[in-house]
Amino acid sequence: MDSKKDFFKDVFEVVRLIPKGRVTSYGAIAKYLGSAKSSRVVGYAMNASHSEKKHVPAHRVVNRNGMLTGKHHFQSPTAMEEALLIEGILVKKDVVIDFKKLFWDPAKELL
């Protein structure tokens, strides 16, 4: 209540904690924050990440399907794939390969 962006701030923090070469899902973050049903807000936070002064690796966040649904919101529609590929994450048809293996669950990793 201090700030309406409290949720956003938490999301950004978690996203920044995502290790290189790993990916996570909106629902995982939302759940970690305590609101699994607020997954939409997580996605919205990514959209607001542009307002954040610090860089937020939003490219490491994908939907539950492992699909790069938000790549269109990046600087370039290919920036997300490129960024992921640079980190060693293979992307095919806008879908993260071995997403299940590369999946980084904050609720478990940050436990």
Judged by CB, which is closer to DNA: 19, or 35?
Answer: 35
Pairing of strands 95-96, 61-62: unpaired
Q: How far is the CB of 32 from DNA (least distance, A)?
A: 12
- Contacts of the segment 35-41: beta carbons below 8 A, 24+ positions apart: 38/7, 41/7, 41/11
Structure tokens that stand for 85 in this block: 């590929």
Pairing of strands 91-92, 95-96: antiparallel
Q: Which residues bind DNA (CB under 7 A)?
A: 4-8, 25-27, 30, 35-44, 46-50, 58, 61, 63-65, 69-74, 80
Judged by CB, which is closer to DNA: 20, or 50?
Answer: 50
Judged by CB, which is closer to DNA: 44, or 109?
Answer: 44
